[in-house]
């Protein structure tokens, strides 16, 4: 595989820091520049994040001395130096939209962790094991943008990546999912914080995360959707309802899921387990560098999956499922878990970039 030169836009934030650690010594991608806001521009990376480094591993040696570019003012320069960029900026949604389109129109593909373009109908929102075919809309997007190489691709919200991967394979196996109720219990790193920077979360639960419930209910419908003409048309089913709660956990989003299937389409418990165990997506078939060998892991113990024990499974890129049982109101209920800054954020975006690279979208 060709070695691609990449940049990280928004490198000083928590997700940007996670990108830095994941891309250090990546076999396909070489980070050659970092960019952030005007406040950090012109400073060495080690200086800019000196008092805000949140990763458990040190700042990568290859990036410590890099001088940070201004993500907005230096866009043309950045676009001329890299094959594509990863984007994880903390800005207003409309400003993010403009910034990402600016890079795309400068013929620099954008692999985004941001939510701004998730509902732009010709921007693929990829969970690589589930809907890789949505990447085909990129050619339509390029036509709209008037570009040859430039495009935007986004990853879904971090919380839906703990439970949608368990539901989607059942639906595609012919057991049509009708209704889903989910309660997510979300780690503080999802807010870009740790316990040092957010002591109020110690011994506390906050029953509201702004915008999260809307994302949890709407974004799965785009993943279930299909390309129709020049757009991705959202599916109208399944029906999702969600409650999202912030809990005092450092990393790992847990979902308590209740599912009802269409009449006559309910699988047995054994069929569910068999489908989960056998399911492989394009990342597994292509042996992408960041792909977990086993995408979905089921644990039969009553007290699993637990965040501390399972969030780092397969380098944080696998989905853990447990406690599958029949329910009195729905057909089944179960619990699932994903590492929110690995699978849910930066790691999922790196895997998406690997898929796009393998399919030739950066060439």
Give the active site residue among 134, 253, 297, 339.
253
- Tokens, residue 138: 């990129």
339 as an active site residue: the answer is: no
Strands 177-186 and 253-261: antiparallel
Q: Give yes or no for a contact between 319 and 165, defined as CB atoms under 8 angstroms apart.
A: yes
Q: What is the DSSP string of 232-255?
A: EEPP--SEEEEEEEE-S-SS-EEE
Q: Give yes or no for a contact between 342 and 313, defined as CB atoms under 8 angstroms apart.
A: no
CA-closest candidate to residue 151, choices 114, 103, 104, 117: 104
User: What secondary structure letter does DSSP report for 345?
Assistant: I
244 as an active site residue: the answer is: no
CA-closest candidate to residue 188, choices 174, 202, 167: 202
Q: How many CB atoms lie within 10 A of CB 181?
A: 18
Q: Give yes or no for a contact between 298 and 324, defined as CB atoms under 8 angstroms apart.
A: yes
User: What secondary structure letter does DSSP report for 38?
Assistant: T
Describe the strand order of the beta sheet including 84-87 as a list of residue ranges: 69-70, 29-36, 4-9, 84-87, 110-112, 152-154
In sequence order, which residues have a C-beta less than 8 Å from that of residue 172 and are 6 or more positions away? Answer: none
- Tokens, residue 204: 């506390």
Alpha helix ranges (H) inside the chain = 14-23, 45-48, 61-64, 75-81, 93-105, 138-145, 160-172, 212-223, 269-278, 282-285, 307-310, 313-316, 347-358
The values of phi and psi at residue 249, to 5°, are: -125, 140
- Tokens, residue 9: 């836009």
Give the active site residue among 108, 158, 162, 336.
158
CA-closest candidate to residue 163, choices 294, 255, 293: 255
Catalytic residues: 158, 253
């Amino acid at each position: 595989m060709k070695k691609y030169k990449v940049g990280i836009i928004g490198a000083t934030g928590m997700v940007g820091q996670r990108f830095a650690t994941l891309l250090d010594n990546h076999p396909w991608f070489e980070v050659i520049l970092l960019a952030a806001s005007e406040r950090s521009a012109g400073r060495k990376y080690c200086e800019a994040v000196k008092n805000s480094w949140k990763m458990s591993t040190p700042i990568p040696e290859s990036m410590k001395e890099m001088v940070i570019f201004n993500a907005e003012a230096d866009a043309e320069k950045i676009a001329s130096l890299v094959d594509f960029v990863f984007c994880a900026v903390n800005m207003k949604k409309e400003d993010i939209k403009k910034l990402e389109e600016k890079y795309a129109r400068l013929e620099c593909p954008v692999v985004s962790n941001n939510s701004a373009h998730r509902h732009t109908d010709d921007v693929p929102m990829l969970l690589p094991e589930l809907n890789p075919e949505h990447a085909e809309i990129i050619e339509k997007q390029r036509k709209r943008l008037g570009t040859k190489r430039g495009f935007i691709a986004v990853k879904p919200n971090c919380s839906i990546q703990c439970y949608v991967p368990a539901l989607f394979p059942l639906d595609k196996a012919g057991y049509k999912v009708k209704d889903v109720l989910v309660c997510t219990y979300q780690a503080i790193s999802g807010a870009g914080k740790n316990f040092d920077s957010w002591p109020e979360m110690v011994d506390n639960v906050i029953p509201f995360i702004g915008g999260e419930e809307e994302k949890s209910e709407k974004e799965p419908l785009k993943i279930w959707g299909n390309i129709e003409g020049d757009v991705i048309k959202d599916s109208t089913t399944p029906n999702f309802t969600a409650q999202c709660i912030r809990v005092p956990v450092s990393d790992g989003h847990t979902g308590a899921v209740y599912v009802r299937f269409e009449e006559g389409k309910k699988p047995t418990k054994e069929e569910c387990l068999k489908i989960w165990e056998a399911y492989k997506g394009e990342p597994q078939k292509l042996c992408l560098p960041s792909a977990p060998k086993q995408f979905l892991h089921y644990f039969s113990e009553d007290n699993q999956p637990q965040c501390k024990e399972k969030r780092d499974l397969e380098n944080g890129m696998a989905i853990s499922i447990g406690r599958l049982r029949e329910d009195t109101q729905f057909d089944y209920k179960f619990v699932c878990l994903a590492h929110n800054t690995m699978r849910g954020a930066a790691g999922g975006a790196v895997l998406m970039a690997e898929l796009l690279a393998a399919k030739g979208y950066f060439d």
